[in-house]
């Protein structure tokens, strides 16, 4: 009896879905907010196979792009062709989803098993990406006010899209600078601002590698003008501060291999371990908000992880200069002059980056 009732329910659902798409469109980006068993009486655990967070983007050219995070420039899939027949989306290797509901705000898809609905089918509930982002709160720490200007640090709510054939901006930048890294492990970090009209300014390198890589990094960042889509806040585009880091291990044979940020063992990351990166990201946010005392505390924490790092002499010099402590600024300037970053002295004297 239960199977009969379930079969009748499936038939009615298919019948009622035939004309569902008339006047509606799937085009755009949708974020999954919930997944549930189609047969709510099923005892098969849902989180075993359908726990992943997904973003589906349908283009007018019948292309579907699926990524594991809505705010991820580099999708972890390539666009695939899709088609719709009798309100069933078909793509990939015989994957089929019944469109149960679609309107301007919500999309509900039921994944079919071997071309039919059964108790193992899963209902995926999506809302538009714009609606999802509107729901996210704005972290007060992401707002940077300088005089009459207000910018926002890139976040899950306000994220940038990099529009090139490169997989993401990190790859775009690193490909242009890593040839001038030193053998061994290298760490680069910079911040810059992208404005609604497309121009890029306030480029500041906070963690340097070499003079040549610095120059190429600034040129690459400035050269990306016009390649960005900016987010909107309350319907208006806003200026966004981008934080970008790059950590590479360069072999002496000039072979450069990317280090996986998420799977480093302590022995494989002696110079810049994950805790160094985490603290430096906090430092950068403090720098943007002009919290120089906070920056110095982060520098102290970083020095315990990597003593005698010349970038820390440089940051101390900048902070003490801003705070008007010429004596301590001078002490760190002397240390900087004896380091591999002594080329930064010219930047300090001229007020311009290399």
- Can you state the angle between helices 326-337 and 310-322, rounded to 10 degrees? 160
The Cα 292–Cα 137 span in angstroms is: 27
Tens-digit pLDDT profile for residues 94-125: 889 999 999 999 999 999 887 888 877 888 99
The Cα 170–Cα 353 span in angstroms is: 21
* 157 in Cβ contact with 69 (< 8 Å): no
Tens-digit pLDDT profile for residues 163-186: 765 557 888 999 999 999 999 999
- CA quadruple 226, 232, 238, 242: dihedral positive or negative? negative
pLDDT of res. 167: 56
Q: Which residues of 226-246 are buried (b: 16+ CB within 10 A; e: fewer)?
A: ebbebbebeeeebbbbbbbbb
Cα–Cα distance list, 302 to 298, 318, 325, 344 (Å): 6, 16, 21, 20
pLDDT of res. 200: 97
Mean pLDDT, all residues of the chain:
83
Q: pLDDT grade, residue 245 (50/70/90)?
A: very high
CB neighbourhood size of 300 (10 A): 12
Structure tokens at 250: 């360069």
* 348 in Cβ contact with 337 (< 8 Å): no
Residue 94: exposure state from Cβ atoms within 10 A (0-12, 13-18, ≥19): exposed
Percent of the chain's residues with pLDDT above 90: 50
* 320 in Cβ contact with 289 (< 8 Å): no
Structure tokens at 288: 């943007």
Which helix (H) or strand (E) is 102 found in, with range? strand 95-102
17, pLDDT greater than 60: no
pLDDT of res. 260: 45
Over residues 131-150, the mean pLDDT reads: 88
The Cα 90–Cα 60 span in angstroms is: 15
201, pLDDT greater than 90: yes
The Cα 206–Cα 283 span in angstroms is: 9
Name the DSSP letter for residue 116.
B
Nearest to 126 by CA among 267, 204, 30: 30
Question: DSSP assignment of 157-213, as one string?
Answer: SS--EE-SSSS-HHHHHHHHHGGGSPSEEEEEEEEEEE-TTS-EEEEEEEE---HHH
| Domains, the chain | 6-132 (2.40.128), 140-350 (no CATH)
pLDDT of res. 77: 60
pLDDT of res. 48: 45
Nearest to 11 by CA among 112, 123, 117: 117
Between 64-78, 109-123, 124-138, 147-161, the lowest mean confidence (pLDDT) is in: 64-78
In this prediction the pTM is: 0.78
Q: pLDDT grade, residue 221 (50/70/90)?
A: very high
- SS3 of 310, please? helix
Tens-digit pLDDT profile for residues 283-331: 999 999 999 999 999 999 999 999 999 999 999 999 999 999 999 999 9
134, pLDDT greater than 50: yes
Cα atoms found within 13 Å of the Cα of residue 309, Cβ hemisphere only? 26
* 55 in Cβ contact with 30 (< 8 Å): yes
20, pLDDT greater than 70: no
Over residues 14-24, the mean pLDDT reads: 49
Residues paired with 232 in a beta bridge? 237
């Amino acid at each position: 009896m239960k199977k009969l009732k379930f079969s009748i329910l499936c038939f009615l659902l298919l019948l009622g879905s035939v004309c569902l798409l008339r006047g509606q469109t799937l085009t755009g980006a949708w974020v999954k907010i919930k997944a549930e068993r189609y047969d709510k009486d099923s005892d098969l655990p849902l989180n075993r196979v359908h726990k992943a967070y997904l973003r589906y983007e349908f283009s007018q050219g019948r292309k579907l792009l699926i990524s594991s995070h809505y705010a991820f420039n580099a999708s972890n899939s390539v666009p695939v062709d899709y088609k719709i027949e009798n309100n069933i989306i078909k793509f990939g290797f015989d994957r089929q989803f019944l469109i149960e509901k679609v309107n301007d705000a919500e999309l509900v898809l039921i994944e079919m098993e071997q071309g039919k609905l059964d108790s193992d089918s899963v209902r995926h509930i999506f809302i538009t990406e714009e609606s999802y982002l509107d729901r996210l709160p704005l972290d007060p720490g992401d707002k940077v006010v300088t005089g009459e200007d207000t910018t926002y640090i890139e976040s899950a709510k306000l994220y940038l899209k990099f529009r090139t054939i490169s997989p993401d901006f990190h790859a775009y930048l690193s490909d242009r600078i890593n040839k001038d890294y030193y053998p061994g492990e290298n760490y680069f970090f910079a911040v810059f601002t992208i404005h609604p009209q497309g121009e890029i300014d306030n480029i500041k390198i906070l963690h340097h590698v070499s003079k040549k890589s610095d120059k190429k990094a600034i040129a690459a960042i400035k050269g990306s003008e016009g390649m960005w889509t900016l987010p909107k806040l309350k319907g208006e585009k806003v200026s966004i501060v981008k934080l970008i880091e790059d950590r590479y291990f360069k072999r002496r044979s000039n072979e450069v291999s990317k280090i996986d940020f998420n799977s480093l063992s302590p022995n494989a990351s002696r110079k810049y371990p994950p805790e160094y990166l985490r603290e430096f990201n906090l430092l950068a946010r403090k720098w943007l908000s002009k919290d120089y005392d906070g920056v110095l505390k982060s520098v102290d924490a970083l020095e315990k992880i990597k003593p005698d790092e010349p970038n820390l002499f440089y940051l101390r010099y900048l902070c003490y200069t801003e705070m008007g402590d010429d004596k301590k600024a001078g002490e760190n300037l002397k240390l900087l002059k004896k380091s591999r970053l002594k080329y930064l002295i010219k930047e300090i004297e001229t007020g311009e980056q290399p």
